[in-house]
Amino acid sequence: MAYQLTAEQLQWQSVARDFAERKLTPAKHWLEGEEFWKNAEMLAEHGFLGVTLPEEYGGMNLDLFSAMLIIEELCKVCPTSGRLVYHTGPGITNFINHLGTPEQKKKYLPQITAGKYYVALGMSEPDAGSAATDLATTAVEEGNFYKLNGSKIFVSEGHFAHAFVVYARFGNTGSPSDIGAILVERGTPGFSVGVAEENMSGEFQTALYFDDALVPKENVLVTRNAFKALMGVYNGVRLGYAAQTLGITQAAFDRTCQYVKERKQFGKQICEFQGVQWMIADMYLQLESARALLYKAAAEVVDNKTDKTSVSVAKVYVAEAAKKITDDCLQLHGGYGFSKEYPLEWYYRCVRAASIAGGTIQVHKTMLASSVLGRKFDQRK
C-alpha cells in the first residue's frame, strides 16, 4: 500500500468537504429538528446515502476507506449528517449488504439509499454487553417462521428505525456457534420497541422486546456458525464509527486553533503562551497518530484483509485521543467551552461514546494483549 491517498480518494474527500461547507447546516440533534431533515434530504439528493452499497441499489459502490473519508469530512461540519451517511453505508446497513440474500437486498437497500428506510442494531442485552456471546435471545424454528424470545438494550435510533438486525441464538449448544442474525421489521406480531431514552450525546436509544415474535424465515441473515462472519462485518462498522469520531475531533481542534489566536488575556493572544502551544502540539500529535492508525486499518480492509488487531488498535487510539483532545479543546475555550453557546461541550459529549460503543476500550485492549502475546485469555476462568 502506498502511504498516501489515491487520486480517487482525494477527490471524494474534496467533494465531501466542498458539499459539507456549502450545503450543510450543523444540526445538533440527531433525527430531530428542521436542520437535520433538510440535511438528510440534500444528502439523499447528492447520493451520499448508502455510499458503500452497490450502484444497482442506488449506492456508489465505494470502498470502506473512501466512505470513511467522506464521513470524516461531513462530521467536521455536521456530525449528525456524517452519522447518517455512516449508518446507511458502512454502518448497520452493511449487515444486509454483506450477509443478506439478493431478495433482502432488493427489498431494503434501495429504500435505504433513498433515505426512506432505516435499520438499527439489536445486539446488546441487559446481561450481555461486553460478554456478547452470552446473549440469551432465542430464535426457534416454527414452520415458515422463527419464533423470537428475549430482549435487547441500548439500540441506537430504535425509536425511529423501520427494521432491526437482531442477534439471536439459533441453536442450544450454549456456544458462540449458536449465534446468528435476523431482520425484524417494526410491526411484527410479538415484537415491541421500548420508550426512547436520550443519552449523553443527545442520541436516542431504546430497548427491544420479543415475546413469541414470529419473524418470517426469509428475514434470516445468518443462522448457526456465523459469529465470526457477523463480527467481521461489525469490524467495518467499528471503523466507520471511528471515522465519525475523528471528524468531530478535528472540528473541535480546528475551532480551538482559531480561538487561541483570537482570545486575548494578559494583553496578548493566548496562543502566545507556551503552556497553550504545548497543548496544541500534543493534540496535533494525537490527531495525526489517530488518523494514521485509522487509515492503516481501513487500507487493510480495502485489500480485503480485515485485520481485527488493526481495527482494535485504531478503535482504541481514536476513542482515547478524541476524549483527551475534545476535553483539552473545551479547556482552551475556558468558560465559553463549558457553555452551550459554543459546540465544544457537545463535541466532547459526542466522542465520549466511542470508548464504550462497538466494544469498550478495556475489551479491545484485552484482545490486543492476546494478539501481541499470542495467547488467549479466558475471561471466565
Ligand X SMILES: Cc1cc2nc3c(=O)[nH]c(=O)nc-3n(C[C@H](O)[C@H](O)[C@H](O)COP(=O)(O)OP(=O)(O)OC[C@H]3O[C@@H](n4cnc5c(N)ncnc54)[C@H](O)[C@@H]3O)c2cc1C
Rule CB under 6 A: say whether 138 interacts with ligand X: no
> Using the rule CB under 6 A, which residue among 49, 74, 112, 123 binds ligand X?
123
If one counts every other C-beta atom within 10 angstroms of the C-beta of residue 315, the result is 28
- Closer residue to ligand X in complex, CB, 56/134: 134
- Closer residue to ligand X in complex, CB, 57/167: 167
Rule CB under 6 A: say whether 156 interacts with ligand X: yes
Report the C-alpha gap between 225 and 222 in whole angstroms: 8
> Using the rule CB under 6 A, which residue among 4, 304, 379, 380 binds ligand X?
379
> Using the rule CB under 6 A, which residue among 58, 115, 122, 337 binds ligand X?
122
> Using the rule CB under 6 A, which residue among 77, 121, 276, 297 binds ligand X?
121
Rule CB under 6 A: say whether 378 interacts with ligand X: no
Smallest gap from residue 180 Cβ to ligand X (A): 15
Q: Give the residue carrying C-alpha cell 435487547.
A: 152
Stretch that binds ligand X, among 52-60, 234-242, 270-278, 358-366 (CB under 6 A): 358-366
How far lies 139's CA from each of 68, 136, 209, 278, 317, in Å? 34, 10, 13, 55, 37
Report the C-alpha gap between 17 and 137 in whole angstroms: 42
DSSP 53: S
Cβ neighbors of 253 (< 8 A, separation 6 or more) are 283, 284, 287, 325, 329
Q: Could you tell me where the DSSP H helices lie in the chain? A: 7-23, 33-45, 64-77, 79-88, 93-99, 102-113, 227-262, 274-302, 308-332, 334-338, 344-352, 361-373
Smallest gap from residue 71 Cβ to ligand X (A): 16
> Using the rule CB under 6 A, which residue among 114, 229, 302, 356 binds ligand X?
356
> Using the rule CB under 6 A, which residue among 11, 130, 277, 339 binds ligand X?
130
> Using the rule CB under 6 A, which residue among 30, 118, 154, 204 binds ligand X?
154
Give yes or no for a contact between 27 and 68, defined as CB atoms under 8 angstroms apart. no
In three-state secondary structure terms, 260 is helix
Residue nearest ligand X, CB atom distance: 129
Subset of 175-204 contacting ligand X (CB under 6 A): 199
Rule CB under 6 A: say whether 357 interacts with ligand X: yes
Rule CB under 6 A: say whether 124 interacts with ligand X: yes
Rule CB under 6 A: say whether 60 interacts with ligand X: no
> Using the rule CB under 6 A, which residue among 6, 360, 370, 371 binds ligand X?
360
Smallest gap from residue 174 Cβ to ligand X (A): 19
Smallest gap from residue 207 Cβ to ligand X (A): 10
Cβ neighbors of 323 (< 8 A, separation 6 or more) are 348, 351, 352, 354, 355
Gyration radius of the chain's alpha carbons: 21
Contacts 24+ apart (CB under 8 A), 260-263: 260/332, 263/334
Rule CB under 6 A: say whether 248 interacts with ligand X: no
The residues of the shown chain that bind ligand X, judged by CB under 6 A, are 120-124, 129-130, 154-156, 199, 353, 356-357, 359-360, 362-363, 366, 379
